[in-house]
Amino acid sequence: MGKILVVDDEVEVVRLLQSFLTAKGHEVETALNGAEAIARVKETKPDIVLLDIMMPGMGGIDTLKEIKKIDPRIGVIMVTAVVDEELGSRLIELGAYDYITKPINIEYLETCVLVKLIYVLDEKAGYPQDR
């Protein structure tokens, strides 16, 4: 399946998502903060990043911007405990594919990851993007 990077400062969330996604056949890397996430993106070149918004140090929004500078094709799905439509719109404008609120609906997360993975892999393979 895909290469996914899970970024969250909550170790329990990282472990849960890593276990779930690994069981679904994905190759999963993890990071506990924005700076570590940037290093992992450069090193492992993931297809998708699940990125927490609220983290100490480099927050999710700044991390999203840096990831998009490194490779705009990486699908970034933001994860947040705050339900805020204005924030959601801003994240999409900055290049996020979607945002998911905590507590995470694992079925929605799986669907979101699979749909974005199809787009990312198609783009990397050079198929035309009409979506």
- Residue 125 confidence class, pLDDT cut points 50, 70, 90: confident
CATH tag, 3-124? 3.40.50.2300
Torsion of CA 11, 17, 20, 22, to 10 degrees: -90
The pLDDT, as a whole number, for residue 128 is 63
Distance from C-alpha of 68 to C-alpha of 94, rounded to nearest angstrom: 8
Domain ranges of the chain: 3-124
Q: Using DSSP, state whether 118 is helix, strand or coil.
A: helix
pLDDT digits (tens, 9 = 90+) for 81-96: 877 788 888 999 999 9
pLDDT digits (tens, 9 = 90+) for 17-47: 999 999 999 999 999 999 999 999 999 999 9
* Distances in whole angstroms, Cα of residue 20 to Cα of each of 47, 52, 103, 107: 17, 17, 15, 11
Distance from C-alpha of 105 to C-alpha of 89, rounded to nearest angstrom: 20
pLDDT digits (tens, 9 = 90+) for 46-55: 999 999 999 9
What is the percent of the chain with per-residue pLDDT over 90, rounded to a whole number? Answer: 76
DSSP 44-86: H--SEEEEES--SSS-HHHHHHHHHHH-TTSEEEEEES---HH
pTM beyond 0.85: the answer is yes
More confident residue, 129 or 4: 4
